[in-house]
């Protein structure tokens, strides 16, 4: 399985969200990232990959932080940009683990 392919797609969506100042567009990038992450989750569910649990944990955090950026709550402790940065760090960990 090529996890790096999924990670590359997630990276492109995250980078586009980080460059956008349009909230509906950021939400669209989040929805697309959620679909890709769900497919990766399904692909990993039957895998014997040694880093599977770590990958799923970081992927879950990535999606949660991306969601906090896409759908901000008033009075939130972080700005959408800070949540996107946190998402970036978790995706980077997945990318680093699965470099080819």
Among the listed residues 11, 32, 31, the one whose alpha carbon sits nearest the alpha carbon of residue 88? 11
Model-level pTM greater than 0.85?
yes
pLDDT tens digits, 3-42: 889 999 999 999 999 999 999 999 999 999 999 999 999 9
Q: Which long-range contacts (CB under 8 A, 24 or more apart) does 57-62 make?
A: 58/90, 58/91, 58/93, 58/94, 59/90, 59/94, 61/86, 61/87, 61/90, 62/10, 62/33, 62/37, 62/87, 62/90, 62/91, 62/94
**Helix intervals (H) in 1-100:** 3-19, 23-45, 52-70, 80-97
Residue 45 has pLDDT above 90, yes or no: no
CB 53 within 8 A of CB 96: no
Residue 69 to residue 82: CA distance in whole angstroms: 8
């Amino acid at each position: 399985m090529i996890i790096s392919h999924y990670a590359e797609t997630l990276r492109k969506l995250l980078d586009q969200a980080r460059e956008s100042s349009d909230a509906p567009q950021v939400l669209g990038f989040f929805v697309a990232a959620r679909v890709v992450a769900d497919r990766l989750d399904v692909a990993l569910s039957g895998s014997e990959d040694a880093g599977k649990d770590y990958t799923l944990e970081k992927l879950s955090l990535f999606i949660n932080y991306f969601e906090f950026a896409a759908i901000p709550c008033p009075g939130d402790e972080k700005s959408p940009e800070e949540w996107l940065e946190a998402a970036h760090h978790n995706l980077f960990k997945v990318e680093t683990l699965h470099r080819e």
